Chains A and B, each alone.
Chain A
């Protein structure tokens, strides 16, 4: 809980910084603050407290996911320091990011639909603004506009769902709803299930599952690289955690209504983005599609065993998030995000090329990197619960994935360089080294991460 306070506090602080003009120190302060947040959140380990008569609950599930997003945000701030430096609205941006993080924390730890709703909205509204933060660029405008329009449209469905569920069960409270479902399974009105489905729509939009994913590639491509990085890591983690909480903690006993629908969605989410990505000439957009595709694997993990998948999903998200923050760091340094921008990157900057290669290999799921173990645990779990067919599909799609990831690698090493050599600041070097190392270590010693939530 203190973590939440501290994050919001940092947000206010960065707003004040505009007035007190502490802009110089702000970045450092935020990073230090976030480190402190991590400490605070980890201190709550195994306490599982409920706050404000059960509005939020900080059980281990929340704690690991919050810790994850906070750590990722630290990397994010580290990587995107120059997204703020020297810009106008520097403080506004950092404040919005911090509020977004606060919203993410709520989405992870909510125990009441109101909190879920507010969390989602805080996150979304900040992001609508941030996606458009490159005001002069039409792409940025379009991204934020699309994101806003479709986002609020989806919110409508989510709310309708919440309303119907409320009508059927007479409560917004996750645990109460769950109890009600398990105690009176027979006397639920049909419109309750409609509510569940509508909530599924709303959440599926947030995690960008097919067929509610159309916004993702466009928005990811249009938004500034750093914001895309934030969306494809922190936001995605939060959304999936929320999704998991809603459907595993709350509606798990009503599974038969939504499981089949979710299976269809999973298949679509595995197939469509992975195949679409094959054609991509723009690395940024390709990563967008791949991040949609990864949702498919997470959903596979979820449907194969909805009651205790968190360990798997958590590990997968960690691997995915670290890999993609790495990729986006490189993207951020390369600036030109077309394929041509990556041609001959190895000659322009070996470090960038190698780090990018590692992250792409991890995303493609090549051992011994983290991404491989992530896919492995997912597939293993699915096989164990008799979803062999879906696993086969997953294998095929990940092969397709290999194809489009490796095209980038080949271009980086074989093509003629597309520009002058790239100079890297030492802080970025250390960051990239750290991330690459993390990818490797997580791959070699995945044990404790997986068993955290087992």
Chain B
């Protein structure tokens, strides 16, 4: 009865990854704004979900993104010491250190889940990051429909 769950779709010829990004409002979101005002061009595969702080990002958000068919997830916020809320990013960092281990163990590796510090001043870094992540995920191919974390449609 689990049959519907385990059909593997072969990667389509031109694979355009769907990437979901969770970013904090004060650093990375502003960094992305700067990339815009500087007219830096980057891949259009990423969709940003804005949160006040990386401290707000629950691992469930990431799993839900994968479940809904994201091929990769990016989490990005203020550099250590820069957090608008003084320590939200420190809490986030510890959380992700443990959570990524769990995901790695269950088959979601470094080519699916990305973490980065991008400050409000790092427009270039943001653009490069998006391009780099997109390229890596293109190479990795579609997130296996057979991965238990993804809802079979």
Chain B binds chain A: no
